[in-house]
């Protein structure tokens, strides 16, 4: 029998994020987030000029959305909590009780349906008031994040046992503070590194607080989600392999090394390169900040498991070695990452369908960080709207086969798999043009109707049986 099954303890789930689905951006006491401000001020920067004022209307659809989850038969639901819905000004002296009520209702509904809540504290919707202080570039933000986390743990710690501090710091620091592809700072080649630095400090501080004050009472676990596209050397040459490794360190090691490596701190190649580039650009002090010895200690080992988002694979070859006069992370990383075009495309320009990259990625982590427990917190693909999404079924099936091999052939320690996303939603700068959902959302309809795609049927079968079907072609839509 060729049937591939996951162990019965292996968990299946789906994910969403507050800003992408909730809507209700200014009601029931919610404060303004940086994404509210940004999409209102710069509609032209969003691909379809839309915003998330309404989005999927999930703020008003707790029961309906949990029914979607229940029909899928998933073990857990990964959602994120909107900081400005809980603390309208970002500060913990003003708690919005209606925000607390909303998430309590959601969690209670999940409990009734035997679905485990997995909560992300920060999935990019920073209170605008804190952006005024410099956002993630101001070291004080770490203290405000601790205050916010304390409110979450005090209110939800008895019912939520699985926590993620941050979703993809690489993405929001780079897009927001290294470029204009998200709200944040100026693209100076300094601020993205400052953002990363303060996020790592904030994560470490919250983990230590959780460990010391909440773990005993809540019996929960905490991690952080990083994104790791696999980076394959363009050829087998030593130069390409070196470039690929440097690129992995720059993209994944930047946020993973300080937390998951034995020695802690930023990866050596990154430290060396940014220090040297800074000097060449006339800055004797590095653009990459230094942790104090105490900070290295605090951040190192600040996890119970590793959250991992994986979507795609790139190819790397050595860069020109040239550094421009204008400092930037992209310039620093131009050890070069080229995307190979012949790989099958999705509907997102950055996303190629390369399932074996997933397996290599997991094996690299296993070797680099002593085989940590991993929760796949996102994996998914966008295709054009439509219910008969055989391409998505193919993607999920192929990536799950690669995951199965990583676990049962290679010994990677993976606890569960999360598909992104439960339903179509506001895909940041791409608006509603890129659809990742197992459920299609009809944005023309009055009540934002959700309809299961073929992939929902496929995934629910996997979640319910724990096995991949021998032949998924019989997943015809009816
Ligand atoms: C990830 C984000 C998630 C979604 C997917 C497609 O980088 O975490 O919110 O946008 O990409």
- Mutate which of 80, 118, 347, 428 for ligand 1? The one with the most ligand atoms within 8 Å of its CB, which is 428
From first to last of its 478 residues, the chain has per-residue pLDDT tens of 568 999 999 999 999 999 999 999 999 999 999 999 999 999 999 999 999 999 999 999 999 999 999 999 999 999 999 999 999 999 999 999 999 999 999 999 999 999 999 999 999 999 999 999 999 999 999 999 999 999 999 999 999 999 999 999 999 999 999 987 788 877 788 999 999 999 999 999 999 999 999 999 999 999 999 999 999 999 999 999 999 999 999 999 999 999 999 999 999 999 999 999 999 999 999 999 999 999 999 999 999 999 999 999 999 888 878 888 888 888 888 756 666 666 788 888 889 999 999 999 999 999 999 999 999 999 999 999 999 999 999 999 999 999 999 999 999 999 999 999 999 999 999 999 999 999 999 999 999 999 999 999 999 999 999 999 886 655 543 3
Ligand 1 atom with the shortest distance to the CA of 168: 8
Give dist(CA 390, CA 122) in Å, integer: 33
For residue 428, how far is its CA from the centre of ligand 1 (angstroms)?
8
Ligand 1 atom with the shortest distance to the CA of 428: 10
Would you say the CB of residue 17 lies under 6 angstroms from ligand 1?
yes
Which DSSP string corresponds to 178-227?
A: SSSSSSSS---SSHHHHHHHHHHHHHHHHHHHIIIIIHHHH--EEEEEEE
Calculate the CA 214 to chain-centre distance.
24
| pLDDT single digits (tens) 90-118 | 999 999 999 999 999 999 999 999 999 99
Identify the CA nearest to 199 among candidates 140, 263, 142. 142
Ligand 1 atom with the shortest distance to the CA of 225: 8
For residue 311, how far is its CA from the centre of ligand 1 (angstroms)?
9
Q: What percent of the chain has pLDDT over 90?
A: 86
- Look up tokens 């580039």; give the residue: 277
| pLDDT single digits (tens) 264-317 | 999 999 999 999 999 999 999 999 999 999 999 999 999 999 999 999 999 988
Give dist(CA 249, CA 272) in Å, integer: 12
Would you say the CB of residue 56 lies under 6 angstroms from ligand 1?
no
101, 141 contact by CB (below 8 A): no
What's the Cα-to-Cα distance from 119 to each of 83, 229, 415, 430, rounded to whole Å? 12, 23, 16, 24
> Taking the C-alpha atoms of 75, 80, 86 and 91 in order, what is their torsion angle to the nearest 10 degrees?
130
Give dist(CA 235, CA 219) in Å, integer: 47
For residue 436, how far is its CA from the centre of ligand 1 (angstroms)?
9
Which DSSP string corresponds to 274-337?
A: HHHHHHHTT-SS-SSPPPPHHHHHHHTT--SEEEEE---EEEE--------SS--HHHHHTT-E
Identify the CA nearest to 166 among candidates 198, 137, 190, 134. 198
Would you say the CB of residue 312 lies under 6 angstroms from ligand 1?
no
378 classed as catalytic: yes
| pLDDT single digits (tens) 139-197 | 999 999 999 999 999 999 999 999 999 999 999 999 999 987 788 877 788 999 999 99
């Amino acid at each position: 029998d060729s049937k591939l099954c996951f162990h019965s303890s292996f968990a299946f789930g789906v994910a969403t994020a507050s800003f992408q689905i909730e809507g209700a951006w200014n009601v029931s006491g919610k404060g303004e987030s940086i994404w509210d401000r940004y999409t209102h001020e710069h509609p032209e920067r969003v691909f379809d000029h839309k915003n998330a004022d309404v989005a999927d209307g999930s703020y008003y659809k707790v029961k309906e959305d949990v029914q979607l989850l229940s029909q899928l038969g998933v073990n857990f639901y990964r959602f994120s909590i909107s900081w400005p819905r809980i603390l309208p000004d970002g500060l913990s002296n003003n708690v919005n009780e209606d925000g607390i009520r909303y998430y309590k209702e959601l969690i209670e509904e999940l409990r009734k349906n035997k679905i485990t809540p997995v909560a992300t504290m920060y999935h990019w919707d920073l209170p605008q008031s804190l952006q005024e202080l410099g956002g993630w570039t101001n070291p004080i933000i770490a203290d405000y994040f601790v205050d916010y986390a304390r409110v979450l743990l005090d209110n939800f710690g008895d019912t939520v046992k699985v926590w993620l501090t941050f979703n993809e710091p690489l993405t929001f620091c780079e897009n927001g503070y290294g470029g204009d592809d998200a709200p944040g700072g100026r693209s100076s080649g300094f601020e993205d590194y400052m953002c990363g630095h303060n996020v790592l400090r904030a994560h470490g501080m919250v983990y230590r607080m959780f460990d010391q004050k909440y773990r005993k009472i809540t019996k929960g676990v905490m991690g952080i989600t990083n994104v790791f596209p696999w980076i394959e050397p363009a050829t087998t040459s030593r130069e390409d392999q070196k470039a690929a490794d440097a690129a992995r360190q720059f993209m994944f090691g930047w946020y993973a090394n300080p937390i998951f490596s034995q020695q802690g701190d930023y990866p050596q190649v990154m430290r060396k390169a940014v220090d040297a580039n800074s000097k060449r650009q006339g800055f004797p002090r590095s653009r990459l900040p230094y942790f104090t010895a105490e900070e290295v200690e605090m951040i190192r080992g600040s996890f119970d498991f590793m959250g991992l988002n994986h979507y795609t694979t790139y190819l790397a070859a050595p860069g020109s070695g040239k550094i421009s006069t204008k400092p930037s992370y992209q310039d620093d990383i131009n050890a070069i990452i080229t995307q190979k075009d012949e790989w099958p495309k999705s509907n997102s320009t950055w996303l190629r369908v390369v399932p074996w990259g997933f397996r290599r990625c997991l094996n690299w982590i296993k070797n680099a960080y002593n085989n940590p427990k991993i929760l796949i917190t996102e994996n998914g693909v966008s295709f054009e709207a439509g219910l008969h999404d055989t391409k998505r079924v193919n993607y999920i099936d192929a990536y799950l086969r690669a995951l199965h091999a990583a676990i049962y052939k290679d010994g990677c320690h993976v606890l569960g798999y999360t598909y992104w996303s439960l339903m179509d939603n506001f895909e940041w700068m791409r608006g509603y043009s890129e659809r990742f959902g197992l459920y299609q959302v009809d944005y023309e309809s009055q009540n934002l109707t959700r309809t299961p795609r073929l992939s929902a049927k496929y995934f629910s079968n996997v979640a319910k049986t724990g096995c991949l079907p021998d032949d998924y072609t019989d997943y015809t839509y009816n």
